Each structure stands twice: as structure tokens, then as C-alpha cells.
């Protein structure tokens, strides 16, 4: 994978082997009503299934409780597990209506609406006319982009504990008595106040498909997107863990809309459609005042004769200039050293 983190803070190179952090107030453990963790807390709980695929049945409780699904009961998603040993189960349906109550409408919560967005997007399995797309099996489903999302509370100063501002929690406690509610609500809000995944993680997630040469070729894509993004300042800064640079979603999703609504360049609804492209960069948060032609900057240009010939020749010019200047100088240096090593040898002696 091209996009790898390139940030290793000098002081603290963090290697997490066995991570046990006690950042939760007691009593947060609420989702395991069925005591599934009695068994599923053991990391060795695993088997080879009938399709010869490995199944890891382990759930890391501490991490799960810090995920956005921490309050969802196991049975909320694994709906067809009713007995032990479990009978063969269906894959989890992310669009199921679960036991969580959505507070605004007090309805049962579901990710159902994502389905429509996704189906309508460039990643949908069907085209405009409702026909199955070619290679529709390549199109992503929920788990291709999402693992269990972790809370990512804002952490401007606090880098050790979960970015939790004690002061803020103290104010919550005045009215709200339930610690678990305070904690979860705080995390939910502060996670949503910024990117819920770092730009690098987003780019990596997209790159898993969009950098795969086979998929790129099969779907006739212009570029290995993650790769070419990684060559821009944005991508490089993302590798250095800059949180402020745009990732894939910032440019490819219309502001204020679901990230699942992504459209191809030829779709007039797409942000990257030639008609709309000029508006992407000049967003107030990014390059305010930038002109329409600013957006002509080729984010996904590659060093390739076919894809971007101008860039190719321009780069090649500099390669030749650099190599053509330095290599002869290296030769002179080498000969100079050699001359100094054997100062007295010579082919033609004077006199």
C-alpha cells in the first residue's frame, strides 16, 4: 500500500501491543446483555469454515466500547443468533433496524437510508436504467470501507487520554446524572465535530480498491487515485498525519451531503464534473478566493506518457537535467579521487 503513515513523532513512537487503557468510567459496559463476551472475549475463538475461510469470532471489548456501536447489543446486529452453539448464521445486515432509538424522532434506528444513496452513486451495483453494471461484484459494500468506527473525540491538547475535556464533562454532570450517557454523548458530539477518520485513514480506505491496478484497469479509471493523491502536497501532509488537509471525500462529495453520494466525473451532480469543478477548491475552509482555473490543478496526475504527457515530458526534462549534470560531475569526482590515490602513475611522462 502506497499510502502509509509517515508520521512518527520523535518523542513517542507508539507501539501498541497489548493495549489496556482504563479510560472508561465503570458501568459503560452495557451492550453485552447476552453475556456473549463470556466466550467472545477470547482472541483464540476462531475456526475454519466450510468455504475454507478463517473466521475470527473475537470481539475486543475495550475497543468495542469505544466504538460508535458500543451501546448496540450484540443481538442488535447479529439478529439470528439465538442459541449456543450458534447455528450457521447469516452475515450481518448493516441496514437492519436495530434496538437503538434515534432521539430526534424516537424511532428505531437504521442505516437503511444509506442504501439509496449508495445505489444511486458511482459505487452502486446498477446503472441509471436499473441494469446490473459490468463487474458489479467489485462495487463496495459496507464493510469494504467501514470497520467498526471508533470514537475520535477532538484532541487539540490532550493526546494521552481520549481527548476528553474534564471541564466539559463537569458541566454535563450538573444536569445529566448518568455517567455512561455523558461519556457517550460527549464522544458522539466531539467525534462529529471533525473528521471521524484521519485523512490518511480515509485515503487508505479508498486506495484499497482505487490503487489496485487490476480494478483500475477493469473499470477504466484514469488513475490509481490513492497513489496520485499521495504525490500531492495534500497526500504527503496526510501521511504526516495532518488533520487539516483534504482527503478523497472533501473533494469528491458535495459539501453537506452524505459521503455515500459520490458520482462519476461525467455525472452533472458530481463535484468533479467539469461544470462544478471550479467550486471545489475555493471553499471558504480551503482556498478562499481561488479562481475557477485554480481547480484545473491536476490532483491525480501521474508520471505517465499516456495519461499526462505534458507532466511526463516536463518531469523527464528535469530528470535528464539532474542526471545529466550530476552524473558527469560524479565521474569527475571519482577520477579526482583516483588521481589522488595514485598520484604518480601516468601514461605519458613529461621530459
Site for another protein in 233-272 (CB under 8 A): 233, 235-237, 239-242
Cell 452475515 sits on residue: 91
Cell 461519556 sits on residue: 183
Query: Closest separation between CB of residue 96 and another protein, Å?
Result: 14
**Contact criterion met (CB below 8 Å) for 238 and 247:** yes
Residue 347 grid cell: 601514461
Q: CB within 8 A of 177, min separation 6: which ones?
A: none
Q: CB neighbours (10 Å) of residue 224? A: 20
- Nearest CA to 144 out of 65, 100, 198, 207 is that of 207
Closer residue to another protein in complex, CB, 9/268: 9
x-or-dash string of contact with another protein, 209-238, rule CB under 8 A: --xxxx--x------x--x--x--x-xxx-
Which position among 152, 234, 252, 263 is part of the footprint of another protein (CB under 8 A)?
A: 152
Query: Closest separation between CB of residue 169 and another protein, Å?
Result: 15
Does 26 contact another protein by CB under 8 A?
no
Closer residue to another protein in complex, CB, 52/174: 52
Number of residues forming the site for another protein (CB under 8 A): 144
x-or-dash string of contact with another protein, 65-104, rule CB under 8 A: --x-------x-----xxxxx------x------------
Please state whether the peptide bond connecting residue 85 to the residue before it is cis, i.e. omega within 30 degrees of 0. yes
Which position among 25, 27, 55, 255 is part of the footprint of another protein (CB under 8 A)?
A: 55
Q: How far apart are CA 117 and CA 264, in angstroms?
A: 14
Q: How far apart are CA 266 and CA 193, in angstroms?
A: 32
Does 301 contact another protein by CB under 8 A?
yes
Does 58 contact another protein by CB under 8 A?
yes
Amino acid at each position: 500500500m502506497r499510502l502509509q503513515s509517515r508520521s512518527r513523532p520523535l518523542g513517542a513512537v507508539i507501539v501498541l501491543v497489548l493495549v489496556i487503557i482504563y479510560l472508561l468510567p465503570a458501568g459503560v459496559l452495557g451492550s453485552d446483555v447476552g453475556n456473549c463476551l463470556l466466550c467472545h472475549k477470547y482472541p483464540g475463538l476462531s475456526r475454519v469454515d466450510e468455504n475454507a475461510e478463517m473466521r475470527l469470532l473475537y470481539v475486543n471489548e475495550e475497543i468495542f466500547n469505544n466504538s460508535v456501536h458500543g451501546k448496540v447489543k450484540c443481538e442488535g446486529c447479529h439478529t439470528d443468533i439465538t442459541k449456543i452453539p450458534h447455528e450457521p448464521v447469516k452475515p450481518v445486515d448493516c441496514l437492519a433496524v436495530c434496538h437503538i432509538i434515534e432521539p430526534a424522532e424516537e424511532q428505531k434506528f437504521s442505516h437503511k437510508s444509506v442504501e439509496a444513496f449508495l445505489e444511486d452513486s458511482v459505487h452502486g451495483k446498477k446503472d441509471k436504467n436499473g441494469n446490473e453494471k459490468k463487474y458489479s461484484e467489485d462495487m463496495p459494500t459496507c464493510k469494504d470501507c467501514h470497520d467498526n468506527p471508533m470514537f475520535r473525540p477532538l484532541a487539540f491538547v490532550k493526546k494521552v487520554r481520549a481527548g476528553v475535556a474534564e471541564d466539559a464533562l463537569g458541566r454535563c454532570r450538573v444536569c445529566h446524572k448518568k455517567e455512561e450517557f455523558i461519556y457517550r454523548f460527549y464522544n458522539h458530539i466531539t467525534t462529529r465535530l471533525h473528521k471521524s477518520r484521519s485523512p490518511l485513514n480515509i485515503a487508505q480506505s479508498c486506495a484499497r480498491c482505487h490503487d489496485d491496478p487490476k480494478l483500475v484497469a477493469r473499470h477504466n479509471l484514469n488513475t490509481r487515485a490513492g497513489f496520485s493523491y499521495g504525490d500531492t502536497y495534500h497526500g504527503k501532509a496526510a501521511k504526516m498525519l495532518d488533520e487539516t488537509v483534504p482527503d478523497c471525500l472533501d473533494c469528491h462529495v458535495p459539501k453537506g451531503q452524505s459521503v455515500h453520494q459520490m458520482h462519476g466525473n461525467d455525472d452533472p451532480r458530481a463535484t468533479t464534473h467539469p461544470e462544478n469543478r471550479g467550486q471545489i477548491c475555493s471553499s471558504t475552509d480551503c482556498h478562499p478566493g481561488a479562481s475557477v482555473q485554480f481547480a484545473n490543478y491536476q490532483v491525480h496526475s501521474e508520471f505517465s506518457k499516456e495519461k499526462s504527457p505534458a507532466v511526463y515530458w516536463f518531469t523527464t526534462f528535469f530528470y535528464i537535467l539532474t542526471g545529466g549534470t550530476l552524473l558527469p560531475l560524479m565521474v569527475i569526482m571519482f577520477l579526482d579521487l583516483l588521481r589522488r590515490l595514485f598520484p604518480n602513475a601516468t601514461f605519458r611522462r613529461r621530459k
